Structure 1
């Protein structure tokens, strides 16, 4: 019988689809993330592997699974998988693009608003010391309307962030390696800026780009020195795009005003230095953690397994 191994618990819709297709489904049900050794053990007789982006699928894992026909990654990113080696072995790797766009864009805007109005800081204050009462100059934040948002990465998510930010009255500029056409920019109400200019002129910078060799530590000490002292940075892309040691120094020294991080350079670990700062919001990689997005992702990975098992091509192959 064809065996499918899920290296994490997924929404029920995935298991239902797979079992309806007559596949033998087993899933990791331990605490926390699956260990490398545990994964090696369970893929040895698997025909299909469905895995979250938090699990590393390296050469050793691929070699341990001689029957493997597909690696379906549960996430838009796929830097956790050795896609080149999988291709060498004739194993397609798929991801789940687009379906989490709205969820991640909403979180991006939500974190920006929370920073601007000091919502998390205010919640902490109320739960601990309380406040002395309403006063004209007490606990002031900033409105985002009329401010300049710089988006690093204008793919599906960055484009949706731009649309939402425009609706909130922001001036939106962006950087990506391949500039949009003039009609596209006018339609989206965005302005292209070289990265150095975007860093210098933005009141808020959101990172909505994938991790590539070119984007690792793109925001380093030099970038933070160039930002406005009143600027904030929000990372919902990938942790290593920010040099976190440099960011921590910039926040402590007042080089920039604040930061919100949903992803981390050494995820799931976060530098303890951030935890004591009032001008930082930390969330546990919840960008697409909605029922709607995760169900849609589950449908994609399960459908791809069913397609390949029936002799058809998978959708969203990233290592063609």
Structure 2
């Protein structure tokens, strides 16, 4: 297999043994800016890209020989899949590579937000802590709480498995409207969104970003949640109306929130940063060495398969291989 592979960003893992005999272009550090990336793609056969890269008509036009886009993420809302399909370009992602890491991180945010860990950390660091007091930093119970999952794919199901250890009641809703085959194994029950919001002590998002899920948590959804409930988002920032979330927290309707993603990241609105009851993380759900290495290797295997004329195992538009 020969060809030219471009990575939009420097990867901290050696994928050369998987790629084989290709020319590999990547920035020495950081990421290519848009102009440099388009220039590098002029004669490229494959692109490995981060979710911050818009794979749109302009990029595809700049890379007429492109055969595959391997997105270094599970979600691929940054890729115009229809445009890629029209051009015969395979699009692949990294499902499974980061499932357990992201589920772990979801529970870290859930526990941290419910028990106000960031606030406690700031208090101790400030030197203003005066010692234990019965009413200090009271949070919400997690053990035995009711958990609502918006989205019940690999990550949602992994979160449900962890919830069993906390004796949580788990309900979920998904875009397809179908009952997930694994729901009984995880002790989860499918409900409609309005019931999930009304009954859950914790609502956690695990859905892809689509027109239907953009701002699925808006002012009306937040008002429908239990007073004192906790919201966790490790999916996509635009699934939550951030201004409405701040308003719900400021008026005391919600107890707390734990957010790993933001609508216009890395920009985070000042009111959200100033809100004491929000635990903020820098899109770190998959940030373990094991998960990120698996993501890099999954992308490399997808590139190699496509350049060999095979459909990558993680292809999201397999129709281009149908004859």
TM-score (norm 2): 0.94
What are the residue-to-residue correspondences of 1:45-60 with 2, within 5 Å?
A: 45-60=43-58
The answer to whether the aligner puts 1:24 opposite 2:23 as a matched pair is: yes
The answer to whether the aligner puts 1:218 opposite 2:216 as a matched pair is: yes
The answer to whether the aligner puts 1:128 opposite 2:126 as a matched pair is: yes
Contact 1:14–1:301 at 8 Å: present in 2 too?
no
Contact 2:106–2:232 at 8 Å: present in 1 too?
yes
Q: Identify the match of residue 247 of structure 1 among 245, 249, 256.
A: 245
The answer to whether the aligner puts 1:291 opposite 2:289 as a matched pair is: yes
Residues in 1 aligned to 2:197 and 2:122: alpha-carbon distance in whole angstroms? 30
Q: Report the alpha carbon displacement of residue 2 of structure 1 after superposing the two structures with TM.
A: 1.8
What are the residue-to-residue correspondences of 1:1-320 with 2, within 5 Å?
A: 2-18=3-19, 21-31=20-30, 33-177=31-175, 178-180=177-179, 184-320=182-318
TM-score (norm 1): 0.94
Residues in 1 aligned to 2:101 and 2:223: alpha-carbon distance in whole angstroms? 31
* Structure 1 residue matching 2:197: 3-state secondary structure: helix
Contact 1:34–1:55 at 8 Å: present in 2 too?
no
Contact 1:262–1:287 at 8 Å: present in 2 too?
yes
Residues in 2 aligned to 1:102 and 1:228: alpha-carbon distance in whole angstroms? 28
Residues in 1 aligned to 2:226 and 2:155: alpha-carbon distance in whole angstroms? 25
* Structure 2 residue matching 1:186: 3-state secondary structure: coil
RMSD: 1.5
Q: Report the alpha carbon displacement of residue 266 of structure 1 after superposing the two structures with TM.
A: 1.3
Q: Report the alpha carbon displacement of residue 57 of structure 1 after superposing the two structures with TM.
A: 1.2
Aligned CA distance change for structure 1 residues 245 and 99 (closer, same or farther; 3 Å)? same
* Structure 2 residue matching 1:281: 3-state secondary structure: strand
Residues in 2 aligned to 1:208 and 1:184: alpha-carbon distance in whole angstroms? 16
Residues in 2 aligned to 1:192 and 1:318: alpha-carbon distance in whole angstroms? 26
The gaps in structure 1 that reach 5 residues or longer are none
Residues in 2 aligned to 1:227 and 1:306: alpha-carbon distance in whole angstroms? 47
* 1:292-316 deviation digits (Å, cap 9, x = unpaired): 1111111111112222222322221
* Structure 2 residue matching 1:245: 3-state secondary structure: helix
Residues in 1 aligned to 2:257 and 2:309: alpha-carbon distance in whole angstroms? 48
Q: Report the alpha carbon displacement of residue 184 of structure 1 after superposing the two structures with TM.
A: 4.1
Aligned CA distance change for structure 1 residues 134 and 8 (closer, same or farther; 3 Å)? same
Aligned CA distance change for structure 1 residues 170 and 59 (closer, same or farther; 3 Å)? same
Aligned CA distance change for structure 1 residues 129 and 171 (closer, same or farther; 3 Å)? same
Residues in 2 aligned to 1:97 and 1:24: alpha-carbon distance in whole angstroms? 26
Residues in 2 aligned to 1:121 and 1:55: alpha-carbon distance in whole angstroms? 34
Contact 2:114–2:255 at 8 Å: present in 1 too?
no
Q: Report the alpha carbon displacement of residue 125 of structure 1 after superposing the two structures with TM.
A: 0.9
Q: Report the alpha carbon displacement of residue 175 of structure 1 after superposing the two structures with TM.
A: 1.1
Residues in 1 aligned to 2:278 and 2:130: alpha-carbon distance in whole angstroms? 24
Contact 1:152–1:174 at 8 Å: present in 2 too?
yes
Residues in 2 aligned to 1:100 and 1:184: alpha-carbon distance in whole angstroms? 19
State the match for 2:321 in structure 1: none
